[in-house]
Structure 1
Amino acid sequence: MNYKILHVIILLIAVVLGNACIEKAQPQSSQEKLIVVVSILPQADFVEQVGGDKVEVIIMISPGASPATYEPTASQLKAVSSAKMYAKIGSGLPFEEVWLDKIRSVNPDMLLVDTSEGITLIAMEEHHHDEEISGHDGDISGMDPHIWLSPENAKILVQNICNGLVRVDPANKTYYEQNKEHYIHDLEALDLDINESLSGLKNRTFMVFHPSWGYFARDYNLTMIAVEVEGKEPSASDLEHLIKTAKEKNIRVIFVQPQFSTKSAEVIAKEIGGNVVPVDPLAKDYITNLRKVSNTIAQGLT
């Protein structure tokens, strides 16, 4: 067994035993905040927008960390033991696939909300482009987990989060639903702004290192080309092909994200006389970030 996984399992056992030794907690007072756990920063923004001053959010994947490799800390696991709800992405995020069952064992009574419910998944860029899964009750391996990078999908995520908050705190149903409606209105305005910023572009093909932006590309009639090949750095022949493609498509910008290496992107950019530009799919301020990303992509394709 991997030593790091064994270490976390030991921590899980310690947390569970520690909770068992504590006297039964008193009922939650009206002044206490609901503790809600999420996997990534954008989800935290969604929960805070709906929950307002009635929630406290625990974010499992630290800023700058990769969902493919992050491991929870002992302090995070201890905090989870007091949570009322875990809002999971539910679309095959690697962190959740590996750790969620172990995390839930710390607090089996917390409500687990699948925020992807109702979203149609699409295949990752390196898989079949015409493949989709509606409802995704079956195998979701090979599907694109980055569902939050579509404002249309974000509205569904927010609705599911609201439903979960109402289940654990029905007394504040009206408060949560009013906040949800206000934020969905903001997401609709964001969608209009992105459409406007990307309208009129003749070149609609962009290159990224990690294929995070598939739903964004789908929604706004763009074509995404990924440098990464099935989660790995491209080979020399892959790089040669990507450089040729970039030249043919008149690509001058390679978009990268802080959670991954930029080495391959820099090689391609040098060969095509282009630039490497950062965009972060995991930034917390969702609306501000997506506006920034759309403007950055528009400038890169102009």
Structure 2
Amino acid sequence: MSLITRLLPLALVTVSLPALAAEPLEVFVSVAPQQTFVEAIGGEQVEVHTLVAPGESPHLFEPRPRQIAALAEADLYVRIGAPFEEAWLARLRTANPALPILDARKGIALRQLATDGDAHHDPGHEHHHGEIDTHIWTSPPLVRVMAGHLRDALGALAPAHAEHFAANHDRFVAELDALDAEIHERLDGLAHRRFMVYHPAWGYFAATYGLEQVAIERAGKEPGARALTALIEQARREDVRLILVQPQLDPRAAERVAAAIGGRVEAIDPLSPDYFVTLRRLAALLVAGAGR
């Protein structure tokens, strides 16, 4: 037998192995925290792409043509309710009518932004009732709900890995439950239950832990003079010394309020992929801001 004849079977095996290996599922999400959740459950069986890049605002974002084209070839899109989604879903469905779309909000009671921080009832500050708060991921118990949907969706797309997804889901949920218990332990005893934010991104977090956020910005607009005065008076009355801002947004209005009350501004990003680090830091800031 010649050397070529002896090596031919090995060569055939070597070439055919990659063809037998399953490709990771191509999953698209709207914001970075979702990527963390999908990767925690999917592991090496998923490749996750986030539409809104770090530093961008979901409220101003528009998907680029190359992102739409890539989405049309995806195995799954997980929507979160970001403002840009509705306008582009029809185009996505036209490009790929078979694209599975998972709504991460399924089974979750959604909040209205106008219900957050309305305590001062300032007549000079316009309220936009009916605007839905999309930041559902800021509550660990709600992420637990989302995790179950992700496990089921990934398992349906790749049944051979369903047990793998289920095991990853259980580990992830255990981490969420530990985080939830830790935050309750830190915040349940706070005497001051209100905190001030520039953009109302923490409503679900506040609702989960019995807190109330007071927002400076409403419907993407800075407050007028009367509303700003009312916010300053409220902060002084309630001894608020901490104002939270997002790094994607202009902090000048928050800085004006902080200067008037002798407080400080802290940047914390609800869009950070470092989910557990971010929520632990938020809890620590709220404890420090309450003087405990």
TM-score category by the smaller chain?
0.7 to 0.9
Q: Aligned pair 1:277/2:266, yes or no?
A: yes
Partner of 1:41: 32
TM-score (norm: length of structure 1) = 0.83
Partner of 2:23: 32
Letter in 2 for 1:85: L
122 and 29 in structure 1: CA distance in 2 versus 1, 3 angstrom threshold: farther
8 Å CA contact retained: 1:126, 1:229: no
- Equivalent-residue separation in structure 1 for 2:46 and 2:130 (angstroms): 32
Letter in 2 for 1:230: A
Q: Secondary structure of 1:121's match?
A: coil
Structure of greater Rg:
2
Q: Aligned pair 1:214/2:200, yes or no?
A: no
Letter in 2 for 1:60: L
- Equivalent-residue separation in structure 2 for 1:217 and 1:31 (angstroms): 42
Query: Deviation of residue 141 (structure 1)?
Result: 4.5
Partner of 1:252: 241
127 and 284 in structure 1: CA distance in 2 versus 1, 3 angstrom threshold: closer
8 Å CA contact retained: 1:111, 1:168: no
Q: Aligned pair 1:66/2:57, yes or no?
A: yes
- Equivalent-residue separation in structure 2 for 1:184 and 1:98 (angstroms): 33
Q: Aligned pair 1:116/2:105, yes or no?
A: yes
Query: Deviation of residue 79 (structure 1)?
Result: 2.1
Unaligned runs of 5+ in 2: 1-18, 119-128
8 Å CA contact retained: 1:205, 1:301: no
- Equivalent-residue separation in structure 1 for 2:233 and 2:31 (angstroms): 35
- Equivalent-residue separation in structure 2 for 1:189 and 1:123 (angstroms): 28
Partner of 1:3: none
- Equivalent-residue separation in structure 2 for 1:233 and 1:123 (angstroms): 19
Query: Deviation of residue 102 (structure 1)?
Result: 2.2
Unaligned runs of 5+ in 1: 1-27, 130-139
Letter in 1 for 2:281: K
- Equivalent-residue separation in structure 2 for 1:298 and 1:254 (angstroms): 13
Letter in 1 for 2:278: N
Partner of 1:239: 228
Query: Deviation of residue 126 (structure 1)?
Result: 4.9
Instruction: Judge which range, 118-127 or 185-194, deviates more.
Output: 118-127
Aligned residues: percent identity? Answer: 40
Equivalent in 202, 213, 217 of residue 224 of structure 1:
213
Partner of 1:166: 155
The correspondence of residues 82-231 of structure 1 with structure 2, limited to 5 A, is 82-89=73-80, 92-126=81-115, 141-231=130-220
- Equivalent-residue separation in structure 2 for 1:30 and 1:281 (angstroms): 37
- Equivalent-residue separation in structure 2 for 1:29 and 1:159 (angstroms): 29
Letter in 2 for 1:200: G
Query: Deviation of residue 260 (structure 1)?
Result: 1.4
8 Å CA contact retained: 1:84, 1:110: yes
- Equivalent-residue separation in structure 1 for 2:20 and 2:72 (angstroms): 18
8 Å CA contact retained: 1:119, 1:153: yes
> Number of residue pairs matched?
263
Runs of 4+ that moved beyond 2 A: 28-31, 97-108, 125-129
Query: Deviation of residue 41 (structure 1)?
Result: 0.3
Letter in 2 for 1:221: G
Partner of 2:250: 261
- Equivalent-residue separation in structure 1 for 2:198 and 2:20 (angstroms): 48
Q: Secondary structure of 1:122's match?
A: coil
Q: Secondary structure of 1:86's match?
A: strand
8 Å CA contact retained: 1:50, 1:176: yes
- Equivalent-residue separation in structure 2 for 1:264 and 1:255 (angstroms): 11
Query: Deviation of residue 194 (structure 1)?
Result: 0.6
128 and 205 in structure 1: CA distance in 2 versus 1, 3 angstrom threshold: closer
- Equivalent-residue separation in structure 2 for 1:127 and 1:185 (angstroms): 29
Partner of 2:70: 79
Deviation sequence 1:187-232 (CA, Å, 0-9, x none): 0000011111213211121000111111111111111100012321
